[in-house]
Amino acid sequence: MANVVVVGAQWGDEGKGKIVDWLSKRADVIVRFQGGHNAGHTLVIDGEVYKLSILPSGIVRGNKLSVIGNGVVLDPWHLEVEIAKLRGQGVEITPENLMIAENTPLILPIHGELDRAREGHNTVAKIGTTGRGIGPAYEDKVGRRAIRVADLADRETLETRVDRLLQHHNTLHRGMGLPEVDRAALLAALNEIAPSVLKYAAPVWKVLAEKRKAGKRILFEGAQGALLDIDFGTYPFVTSSNVIAGQAATGSGMGPGAIDFVLGIVKAYTTRVGEGPFAAELHDADGQRLGERGHEFGTVTGRQRRCGWFDAVLVRQTCATSGVSGIAFTKLDVLDGFETLKICVAYELDGKRLEYLPTAADAQARCIPVYEEMPGWSESTEGARSWNDLPAAAIKYVRRVEELIDCPVAMLSTSPERDDTILVTDPFAD
């Protein structure tokens, strides 16, 4: 059976939650493979709104296994709160439908404190972090001093891990003029939260291998967007993990041969939260209109997103680095009523035309968008469920996007509602 990876192909906020939820009715297992609770998904199901930031989107469906993979960094206290909130909305969450990889690194309170302190002390160039400790947690992972889920099961091991961790963090605290970490309080907090996390712990790599062997369909759910990838994003204004599709393999314990289809989620225009270059950003009435119509506020932070025209250069690049098989084109209805639409088809940098985003941050910041104009449409596309429901100008816009990004449209989303989706290519087809 086919296994599908879903990744954002812009700066995040492309509507992955709805698409993953739509696909999850066909999947048996839904796996979150990177990021932390800094990335939010909003699902609207039969008028009920669910806001997720660490749990896989499949958790709101019955008879599905949701998995938090080892590529995620997990705040166990946030997990407890999010589970309680969803249970309050009638969602059943048990060890039978939620598993957490035993080798998943934890986000601790000291990570958030360090994250916020660094951003506050940064007078050179702020990254725009959410301050939730994701970056410092990943640093500890690669620094081989992280506390992982499995460590919570043995108090002696946990104490050793905490001591190694605090050797590093207390040095940082002293250097920044912060009080040293209270070892006893941290250990007490970890021992208290341990039972809430350990009941979901499992050798996820083994479970997924067995599910694949049994012919189950696996859906890999990414967070954020490829332009925030630590290697291929707009560095240093990026997240602290790999966001592109290849991370689905290493972030879950499955080999790359398990991936059959990569679905890139692409918004019909472009948005970005926080700092960093954004060549196609609009500072006029059109940008404000996109933001208002698209309700462009972060699920997690509430920050207003920066808005701009569709940037085909960026999406073409991310489709290549993630090996995207087809895109899910979302929020087309936000463009309803624009007399003229623009698409960024190239950049001008120091008098030269570029067909890709340069690597150097200073060069990215100097890129000037080269636009192609297309006529808009006055009719509504909201709720369309077939090509016949779309205005001719809207279809032409979608087809032109396909040409410019060198990737076909597999799905088209026309509202936040689950069923307002046009299926062109079934990602789960064998």
Residues tagged active-site = 13, 41
Alpha-carbon separation of residue 419 from 2, 3, 19, 54, 422 (angstroms)? 22, 22, 10, 24, 9
Would you give the distance in Å from CA 151 to the centre of its chain? Answer: 27
Token output for 68: 């938090």
Token output for 62: 């019955």
Identify the CA nearest to 319 among candidates 1, 5, 3, 2. Answer: 5
Count CB-CB contacts under 10 A for residue 178. Answer: 15
Q: Coil, strand, or helix at residue 167?
A: helix
> What is the 3-state composition of the chain as percent helix, strand, coil, each rounded to the nearest 5?
35, 20, 40
Tokens 């429901």 belong to which residue? 389
In whole angstroms, give the CA distance from residue 237 to residue 255: 29
Burial-class residue 38 by CB neighbours within 10 Å (0-12, 13-18, 19+). Answer: buried
**Distance between the two ends of the chain, CA-based, in angstroms?**
6
